[in-house]
Structure 1
Amino acid sequence: MQIDIYSPDSYLQGIPHQQFAWLRANDPVHWHQHPAGGGYWAISKHADILAVSRDHKSFSAQQGFVMVDDLPAEILPMAQGQLLGMDPPQHGPIRRAVITRFTSKMLANLEPQIRSITQSIMANARDIGEVNFVESLAGDLPTAVIGSMLEIPTDMWPQIRAWSDMQTSGDDPDLGGSPEQINQASVEMGTYGYQLATERKDQGGDDLISLLINTEVDGHQVDEMEFASLFIQITVAGNETTRGLISSGMHQLMQQPELYQQLQDNPSMIPGAVEEMLRWTCPLHYFRRTATCDTEIRGQKIAKGDKVVMLYSSGNFDEEVFTDPMRFDIERNPNPHLSFGHGIHLCLGANLARMEARIFLEEFFKTFSGIEMAGDTAYIRSNSIHGFKQMPVRLLPR
């Protein structure tokens, strides 16, 4: 089989399941050429992705960062200041400083605010009728939640989303731009984060920014420059992946109306359904690591300095782990999907994303009696982000 899982065009119809299935069966540690020269090891099996994720000594997130394409020299240091691009020992104290703000108690306190935001979004969409579900429903919620948690002025929320889209969907003609524009978006976003941190230093606020930069955890206090990088990660991750989860999950329910009805009638099933939506939609296709020493995976020798790319959206359909993986099963249990990563880089906002998706579905079923497609969907042209950019729907209010 001709394998090209690098080209963004390979993802215009969604996850390239046929190619991934062939790799899992025939070449699970596959050397893939990179169009700029060289190449990388594509890891497609669930067990191998777990093993690489756990072994941060042999596989670095910091060396070269986590994207398959090497970043420009002027952007790389800021990217390496993001938690997802940090190795121990720098990683631990900063992650703990952040994770203390994402406790179950904090999330429980946030739930009424998220529900109120969701109800407002539903009320606005209710009067429109036909909308692009991605922008008007699925995209508005995570932007508003992150904006509220960070107390970013509401007039800046569209800019935050635009910066985020530019960095994650740069290869898409409708969302991206030139390499220079993408780099500029990253710099502008980091600069804005630095500005917010500077303004709130020692001001006694209780927003997430103030809590992060004014609290010492394990002897470490996040400074303004560290927060600038954290700001990019928190806002980009909060926007892109939750938007993809909600819109792609709803699309799948629309393909199987009996499941839509089942969830509508039994809201207690929603948390389990969200886990299957995460497995099925896998909002992020991959992350990269770089080998810090000569090693091997599944008997294949990996040289020091080689790029290793973990294909989460392949691992989520591994036949050795998931029974009948091409069946969307909202009662699947267990469901050890890889959509939030694994190991020390497990997604910080995993439970926030779960809660947003759960509340969204609960409120959607209360507000609307149904939903219908009103045109053709279009995926983001990206080998990194998996989600729709267009999903025209007709909403049927109660």
Structure 2
Amino acid sequence: MQLSDIDIYNPDNYVAAVPHEQFTLLRDEAPVYWHAHPDGGGYWVISRYEDVRAVSRDHATFSAQRGFVMVDELPPEILGMAQGQLLGMDPPNHGPIRRAVIERFTSKMLVQMEPMVREIARDALLAAREKPDCNFVFDAAGNLPTAVICSLMGVPKDMWGQIRHWSDMQTSAGDPDLGASPEETQQISMEMGMYGYQLATERQNSDADDLISLLINVEVDGHKVTAEEFASLFIQITVAGNETTRSMIASGMYELLKRPELYRKLEANPELLPGAVEEMLRWSTPLHYFRRTATCDTELHGQQIKENDRVVMLYSSANFDERVFENPQEFDIERSPNPHLAFGHGIHLCLGANLARLEAKIFFEEFFKLFAGAELTGEPKRIRSNLVNGFKDLPVRLMPR
């Protein structure tokens, strides 16, 4: 393969597997690579670990808000709402709202939430026992994150299915089996935002302890989150709370089922689960990339980057960078240290990172208690996407204890 063969934009190139051969070539020969885009322009691809960290930290030079975080330019009517999401904000807008959210995910709060998460996980897995031949992605892994994030926000239970549907439509828009057309995706985004606005409006001045009430009624640094701001925040929290955790759990299970000796080792030694979850995160990297936009002319590895150029941080490459990870193509549940970038880095580090870790750890603990084993019954199918890294179909036979 040569640099002229590189095409990491085309979502078809992610259907068979993550294109690691292309990523390795970029890291070795063109760590700052100009990639053509179908709109006639192009964008810079940043593929090495340390460079992704550097761009992530330098929010003054590389903006999340200017143009948002997707490599494709968004229509003006959608861009404004997208920039109301935390992941699409720069300082000073970013700080107060982030601190308001992060208060809900302190270590103390997570300890208090653990019994709730465990009950939800157990209920989800008991339901999966009724369908031993299943698509593990949706029939087992998918129920937990949806229930947890909706419970945290106090979303009525009869809306949980709708929330999950909206989320799936947005994250898998490029997949013909899962997603919607660009026009439908815009409509879904508007519907989600309107529903979030409705919930926020209903809970203004409420003293309830759900995440929505907390966010819109707590003042941080002199700022209160408005219902309008929460409409955008609602989309980010629900989509991220659903897709990424589900993808990580399903991908982690797939890697274990391919390696029965690791599956049994983890089953017999649950104390290894925290480290195993970190390796699942590194390996699965639920989002391949996020974009930044240069706010001024700058330079990286001798490449001149002009103001308003798109810059894509390729997490799926950084997490397999041989300069940081020894034998990166080995799935090692005892890898230490494991400084992966699956949750991003810098001020935009994923808010729900520790909640996702908790969910995955509890999921596997409860799975090993309820099931004697599992086996693949067919070839998995990956989501057709250059953004979302995960399976849409993981055919598995579960063996209840």
Normalising by the residue count of structure 1, what TM-score does the alignment of the two structures yield?
0.99
Q: Is the 8 A contact 1:24 1:45 kept in 2?
A: yes
Shift of 1:356: 0.2
Tell whether the 8 Å contact from 2:170 to 2:180 is kept in structure 1 after alignment: no
- Residue by residue over 1:107-143, the C-alpha shift from the partner in whole angstroms, topping out at 9 and shown as x without a partner, is 1111000100111111111122111100011111000
- Number of equivalenced pairs: 398
- In 2, the alpha carbon distance for the partners of 1:329 and 1:222 equals 42
Mapping of residues 236-255 of structure 1, within 5 Å: 236-255=239-258
Letter of the aligned partner of 2:93 in structure 1? Q
Which residue of the other structure, out of 88, 107, 112, is the alignment partner of 2:110? Answer: 107
In structure 2, what is the Cα distance between the partners aligned to 1:137 and 1:102?
25
> What displacement does 1:302 show?
0.5
Cα deviation 1:81-111 (Å, max 9, x = unaligned): 0000000010011111111111111111110
Q: Look up the match of 2:165.
A: 162
Counterparts of 2:161 and 2:17, CA distance in 1? 26
Q: Which residue of 2 aligns with 1:210?
A: 213
**Once superposed, what is the RMSD of the aligned Cα atoms?**
0.7
Q: Percent of counterpart pairs with the same letter?
A: 67
In 1, the alpha carbon distance for the partners of 2:169 and 2:400 equals 34
Pick one of 36, 46, 49 that aligns with 2:49.
46
Unaligned runs of 5+ in 2: none
Determine whether 1:325 maps to 2:343: no
User: Shift of the alpha carbon at 1:217?
Assistant: 1.1
Q: Which amino acid aligns with 2:112?
A: N
What is the CA-CA distance between 1:203 and the residue it aligns to? 2.2
> Take 1:323 and 1:183, find their aligned partners in 2: how far apart are those partners?
42
SS for the counterpart of 1:371 is: strand
Secondary structure at the counterpart of residue 394 of structure 1 = strand
Distance 1:293 1:316 in 2: 28
Higher deviation after alignment, 149-158 or 62-71: 149-158
Query: Is the Cα contact below 8 Å between 2:70 and 2:290 reproduced in 1?
Result: yes
Q: What aligned pairs does 1:278-317 form with structure 2 within 5 A after superposition? A: 278-317=281-320
Deviations 1:200-245 (A, max 9, x none): 1112211110011111111111110111111000000000000000
> Which residue of structure 2 lines up, in the alignment, with residue 22 of structure 1?
25
Q: Counterparts of 1:1-398 in structure 2 under 5 Å?
A: 1=2, 2-398=5-401
Unaligned 5+ residue runs, structure 1? none
Deviation digits for residues 355-394 of structure 1, max 9, x if unmatched? 0000000000001010001122100110000000000100
Show structure 1 runs of 4+ deviating over 2 A.
none
TM-score normalised to the size of structure 2?
A: 0.98
1:44 maps to a residue whose letter is S
**Residues 14 and 386 of structure 1 are in contact (CA less than 8 Å); yes or no, is this contact kept in structure 2?**
no
The separation in 2 between residues aligned to 1:14 and 1:362, in whole angstroms, is 28
